[in-house]
Chains A and B, each alone.
Chain A
Amino acid sequence: MAFTNRKTYTPFIGRYDPCQPIRVKTYETPPHLYLGFQPPGLEQFSPKEALKRGTLWKALYSPYTSPYGDYR
């Protein structure tokens, strides 16, 4: 399976749960959890791009959108 920074799990769904069940729950595992001590020579964004994204390093860039996007 392709690597992703959003992991999923499927919680128990009871028969009498009062709210519409969310069958697949998610949590974030951003890239710095996997990097270790940053090695030299990693790929960079252009300075302008880096100022916009909040990091110079492609390996540390972590976009986030609401996982509830489809429910809203």
Chain B
Amino acid sequence: MWVYEKKLQYPVRVSQCNPRLAKFLIEQYGGADGELAAALRYLNQRYTIPDKVIGLLTDIGTEEFAHLEMIATMVYKLTKDATPEQLKEAGLGAHYADHDKALFYHNAAGVPFTATYIQAKGDPIADLYEDIAAEEKARATYQWLIDMSDDPFLNESLAFLREREVVHSQRFREAVEILKEAREQKRFF
């Protein structure tokens, strides 16, 4: 079970109404390397991985939901007071036609989320390597988002999320080392 804290992991501040940026940020909401995919991937892998690394998957999978909530807040703030006309200009006309201003799990191009974004191979090394790759891809996505955003407040939150991807990747790499059981052995050459 989970305990919910009614606050964001990192504050989200937005300096200007910019629905176009919201369209790009949705990539991290319902995209292949987004926070939803990450959370579901890790939490699902927990059942078939050696005990030693289950806790890591629980912790990181849980944190990904906290990130998902931050992305949702960003998108909401960037669009909540935009007129349908402004949304149309920002390329969100098709979104408005289907969802009004509701968020939806799709990527920046409007492709709906699918479970096929997630793998569960059952082989611990294969699964952890996928997790490492997912973190690097999410890190890259945050880089491209920062490249396109000129909102200094929003960029602070995005830089925080990017840093978390770096830390998660590091921890998954360490999990691989733990499973290799080669860490404490003396190496002879």
Is A64 a contact of B170 with CB atoms below 8 Å? no
Chain B residues at the A interface, C-beta cutoff of 8 Å: 10, 139-140, 142-143, 146-147, 150, 159-164, 166-167, 169-170, 173-174, 177, 183
Tell me, rounded to whole Å, the shortest Cβ–Cβ distance linking B184 to chain A: 10
Is A54 a contact of B183 with CB atoms below 8 Å? no
Q: Which residues of A contact B173 (CB under 8 A)?
A: 32, 37
Q: Which residues of A contact B163 (CB under 8 A)?
A: 53-55, 60-62
Known: A28-B143, A30-B139, A66-B147. A37 touches B177 (CB 8 A): yes
Known: A32-B173, A37-B174, A37-B177. A64 touches B143 (CB 8 A): yes
Is B146 a contact of A66 with CB atoms below 8 Å? yes
Taking A32-B170, A32-B173 as given, write out 14 further A-B residue pairs in contact, using a Cβ cutoff of 8 Å, ordered by the A residue number.
A28-B139, A31-B166, A32-B166, A32-B167, A36-B177, A38-B170, A38-B174, A54-B10, A55-B163, A55-B164, A55-B166, A63-B159, A64-B162, A67-B147
A10 interface residue (CB < 8 Å to B): no
Task: From the candidates A30, A55, A57, A64, name the one contacting B146 in the complex (CB within 8 A).
Answer: A64
Secondary structure call for the B interface: helix
Tell me, rounded to whole Å, the shortest Cβ–Cβ distance linking A44 to chain B: 13
Expressed in whole angstroms, the Cα–Cα distance for A31 and B169 within the complex equals 11
A-B contact count (CB 8 A): 56
Expressed in whole angstroms, the Cα–Cα distance for A66 and B173 within the complex equals 27
A68 interface residue (CB < 8 Å to B): yes
Expressed in whole angstroms, the Cα–Cα distance for A57 and B174 within the complex equals 15
Expressed in whole angstroms, the Cα–Cα distance for A55 and B140 within the complex equals 18
The residues in A between 17 and 63 inclusive whose CB is less than 8 angstroms from any CB of B are: 28, 30-32, 35-38, 51-55, 57, 60-63
A65 interface residue (CB < 8 Å to B): yes
Q: Which residues of A contact B177 (CB under 8 A)?
A: 36-37
Tell me, rounded to whole Å, the shortest Cβ–Cβ distance linking B156 to chain A: 9
Expressed in whole angstroms, the Cα–Cα distance for A37 and B164 within the complex equals 17
A-B contact pairs, 17 of them (CB 8 A): A28-B140, A31-B166, A32-B166, A32-B170, A38-B174, A53-B160, A54-B159, A54-B160, A54-B163, A54-B164, A55-B164, A60-B167, A61-B163, A62-B163, A63-B159, A64-B146, A66-B146
